[in-house]
Structure 1
Amino acid sequence: MKSLDIMIVDTPYCFAPEKLRKLLKWFFLAYIQTLT
């Protein structure tokens, strides 16, 4: 899942489209769930 972290960091989050932000947030939350 290292690639997911890199993708989130490399993505210009503030400038990302609304749909992309929601998608990244969903993936990030899902990733957090796998850690707990």
Structure 2
Amino acid sequence: MSRRFVDESGWLHQALAKQVDRVTFVTAGIPQVLKDTA
């Protein structure tokens, strides 16, 4: 992956996370709540 793709992807995910109430990151089937304002 190029550096630009990684940067743009990160900005996109941050913008999406600002608009939602809950963000869950899943790695190897294990969910980790990053944001929960409910």
Please report the TM-score for the alignment, with normalisation by the length of structure 2. Answer: 0.51
Moved over 3 A (4+): none
Higher helix share: 1
2:24 aligned partner: none
Matches within 5 A, 1:1-36: 16-36=1-21
* Alpha-carbon shift at residue 22 of structure 1 (Å): 0.2
Unmatched runs of 5 consecutive residues or more in structure 2: 22-38
Tell which has more relative contact order, 1 or 2 (C-alpha 8 A, sep 6+). Answer: 1
Coordinate RMSD, CA, aligned: 0.8
Structure with greater proportional strand content:
2
Which structure would you say has the larger Rg? 2
Gap regions ≥5 residues in structure 1:
1-15
Residue by residue over 1:2-29, the C-alpha shift from the partner in whole angstroms, topping out at 9 and shown as x without a partner, is xxxxxxxxxxxxxx10000000000000
